[in-house]
Amino acid sequence: MVTTLLNTTKSEEIFSAAQALMPGGVSSPVRAFKSVGGQPIVFDRVKGAYVWDVDGNKYIDYVGTWGPAICGHAHPEVLDALHAALDKGTSFGAPCYLENVLAERVIEAVPSVEMVRFVNSGTEACMSVLRLMRAYTGRDMVIKFEGCYHGHAGMFLVQAGSGVATLGLPDSPGVPKSVTSNTLTAPYNDLEAVKKLFADHPDQISGVILEPVVGNSGFIPPQPGFLEGLRELTQSNGALLVFDEVMTGFRIAYGGAQAHFGVTPDLTTMGKVIGGGLPVGAYGGRKDIMEMVAPAGPMYQAGTLSGNPLAMTAGIKTLEILKRPGTYEKLDGITKKLTDGMAKVAEETGHTACGGQISAMFGFFFNPGPVNNYTDAKQSDLEKFGRYHRGMLEQGIYLAPSQFEAGFTSLEHTEADIEQTLTAAKTVLSSL
């Protein structure tokens, strides 16, 4: 058995009280540790590649506030920029020059984006881009993929992966059938299934939306030719191709997955990294499509805190850091060392596992593999993952509390952090 190293008395007290105050004691479901057992730890502070809980325990963090902390938590340059911005106010609700600056950087970096609209979350970005797809094409149906999560808007809660998969909910109560009746689903990495949907619904499908690298069923990359095939299928059927790069944007490459794979969608949603740790979202794409958005066009979408000066400031500084020479080479090297090491440790300890990485995004399944879609991911040993997660936590390693979530590294993770993580993994896996 793994030796218990943690005293989490304060975390337990705080979480126990939280359950009388908030549904499940949390503000977002996966945080509740339902799929891994035990109670969640309650954070007190974060810095660099590390987090500390309220009991004073320190962990190496591979969640990175679910992706945004690519430069490391509380990066000093980002904090300095935010301190200066705070003196000018926390919210304007009016045009702000910082919006121009961040917009220019996003447009410069992301191949598909000629115009961009800032919002407040990835969910809001995906809700808005779906409305835009329908407005531009005059069609109602949309194709999404099983296990791809595009936020908690009703029309996307169909085979949604992520927290829905973690909690074992097939969909969600409160979402009428009429809301999802125009949402079609296909297995990820299955072009033939998409072809059939287009054939069965001619001139009715507005577009295809997907995570170009899935992060909400665990880490699942596209098979060779899959993204290219979707590009051809959408163009030949008069539909739009949308990459949900809320997770992959500026993480697997400065220009996102579309730059990494060389496939340019019509529209893109973004979030996480572009806000540098503050609440943010964005959607953008071809100018002729984006000019449908109010007030330039008839498709309405608005938000009081959209373009918030603090989020814009943090995003600008984060992208500035990421654009420096060698950034993505460093991220890729440190992440590859982790995933290659994990594969070796699993083999040495007699566990069947598979995984992979692209730049600063990775995954690890207790599954013989290959894992090409959500159905494959569900064949993983979830009970073993729960024990592994708890064991790693005891060893001071904070992993996403679900088999169905990708992991993230940052510029602040060191070779020593990776070695400590692999040593912990060997200790834990030897005991399972």
DSSP, residue by residue, 227-268: HHHHHHHHHHTT-EEEEE-TTTBTTTBTTHHHHHHT---SEE
DSSP state letter for 47: E
Estimate to the nearest angstrom the gap between the alpha carbon of 404 and the chain centroid: 11
Catalytic one of 53, 61, 244, 417: 244
Helix, strand, coil fractions of the chain, as percent rounded to 5: 40, 15, 45
Catalytic one of 59, 62, 136, 149: 149
Catalytic one of 34, 272, 317, 426: 272
- Catalytic annotation on 244? yes
Axis crossing angle, helix 309-322 with helix 327-348, rounded to the nearest 10: 80
Question: Which helix (H) or strand (E) segment is 192 a member of?
Answer: helix 191-200
Give per-residue burial for 179-198: e unless 16+ CB within 10 Å, then b: ebebbbbbbbbbbebbeebb
- Catalytic annotation on 374? no
Question: Which helix (H) or strand (E) segment is 66 a member of?
Answer: none
- Catalytic annotation on 149? yes
Contact between 422 and 341 under an 8 Å Cβ cutoff? The reply is: yes
Which of the residues are catalytic? 149, 244, 272
